[in-house]
Amino acid sequence: MEYKSRELERKFLKMNRNFKAILVTGARQVGKTTMLKHLAEGTDRTYVTMDNRMARELAKSDPVLFFQTYKPPILIDEIQKAPELFEQIKIMCDESEEKGRFWITGSQQYKMMSKVRETMVGRIGILSLYSLSQREKAGILLEDEPDFSLQALLERQKLFKRNNIIDVYKHIWTGGMPEIQEADSEIREEYFNSYIETYLMRDATEVGGISDTVKFNKFLTACAALISSQINYSTLAEAADISQTTAKNWLNVVQGLGIIYLLPPFENNELKRLVKMPKLYFCDTALCAYLSKWLSVETLMNGAASGHYYENYVVMEFVKTYAYSKAKANLSYYRDSNAKEIDIFIEENDMIHPIEIKKSANPDRREVKKYSVIDKTSLKRGEGGIVCMCEEVIPIDEDNCFIPSNII
């Protein structure tokens, strides 16, 4: 299978020049190991995976002997299975000034990250990799986050094909798992069935102590039904026949495994009556579609949930963009007790870029009037707009545009 270049490569290589260890986190099968092996081609970097029982047992029982056996520079895969290594990695980082000695992957942040924060402060760079974005699939790799000014959007638009609803829903239904980009529907079904049974169930058992596979499957399906909605623990608990406390714990586990993304609500002391519950999105829309039994692009595109999947797709494209770009941003959504909602606030440099998401090719331009709520805060309102199925960038007013969803 041909390797697809990843936008995270640029950031990883930069961190490799500045940190002694770099950890890449993300769900199973999103391409962490493939990317790092690709970057290690032509070097003498040792590779070892903690999925290997003998290597794992050595790592757990004798980390010093482990690193005598597997010498740096090294790529250690799935380190969450042997967190005992972090202590020795810390010692070895302190003994040498050499950068980039330890490349590490982990597909589970639930307990691993507390161990990293405990032992590796100042020694490790941490990055997140998600499944393939629409840009990566198209082979268009961009270093910078979007600039929402009209001129910048018009320039960006030149790099992309014309927005097309069939292409968009094909991307949503296919998802971004590298292994199944060319798979037919039968292979795709088997892949996700195996993914849930082989990885998710095993990791959930090891990490979260979840042993009831039937209830956990029901819980995952209930999560898929809540796509692009505020979390409702009573709904999740009822669907899986578990307590609300258990539902909260299981959601933490699934989030830690990189399966779901929780978009926090906007918080601001100057605005009262804001909701407190995050919204639930799937990091990979194809897994969500599989759990909800949307068996073809057409049924998903024309189904009752198509708007929710469209919103999920747009939100995750923004998440991936800001995970890989030079600038960081806080992403949140706005909703008050009167149910006034703005789908995404992109907050950077004390400025909020407001974004609405509409599946329509011709949304109501009056939607942007809601953005005036930002003016009640001490933060500045930046340029924004409505991400939608329009075919080209069209200005709405001096601050906002209709933005084709395939160029974000």
Q: What is the pLDDT of residues 224-265, one digit of tens each?
A: 999 999 999 999 999 999 999 999 999 999 999 999 999 999
Amino acid at 158: K
pLDDT at 102 over 90: yes
Cα distance between residue 114 and residue 284, in whole Å: 25
- Kindly report, residue by residue over 33-67, the tens digit of the pLDDT: 999 999 999 999 999 999 999 999 999 999 999 99
Which percentage of the chain shows pLDDT scores above 90?
84
Q: Tell me the mean pLDDT in the region 266-278.
A: 87
The CB-side HSE value for 276 (13 A sphere, CA atoms) comes to: 3
Cα distance between residue 277 and residue 265, in whole Å: 6
For β-strands 102-106 and 74-77, DSSP reports them as parallel
Average model confidence (pLDDT) for the chain? Answer: 94
DSSP percent split of the chain into helix, strand, coil, nearest 5: 45, 15, 35
Architecture of domain 7-128: 3-Layer(aba) Sandwich (3.40)
Q: Tell me the mean pLDDT in the region 20-38.
A: 96
pLDDT of amino acid 119: 78
Q: Tell me the mean pLDDT in the region 327-352.
A: 92
- The DSSP letter of residue 109 is -
- Kindly report, residue by residue over 353-406, the tens digit of the pLDDT: 999 999 999 999 999 999 999 998 899 999 999 999 999 999 999 999 999 999
- The DSSP letter of residue 16 is H
Residue with tokens 């040498």: 96
Residue with tokens 């995970």: 323
Q: Tell me the mean pLDDT in the region 160-174.
A: 97
Of 262, 255, 300, 294, the closest CA to residue 281 belongs to: 262
Q: Tell me the mean pLDDT in the region 301-308.
A: 97
| Residues in Cβ contact with 164 at an 8 Å cutoff, skipping those fewer than 6 apart | 391, 406
Q: Tell me the mean pLDDT in the region 17-45.
A: 96
Of 212 and 118, the structure prediction assigns the larger pLDDT to: 212
Domain extent listing, the chain:
7-128, 134-404
Question: Taking the model in full, what pTM does it have?
Answer: 0.95
pLDDT of amino acid 109: 66
Cα distance between residue 290 and residue 192, in whole Å: 7
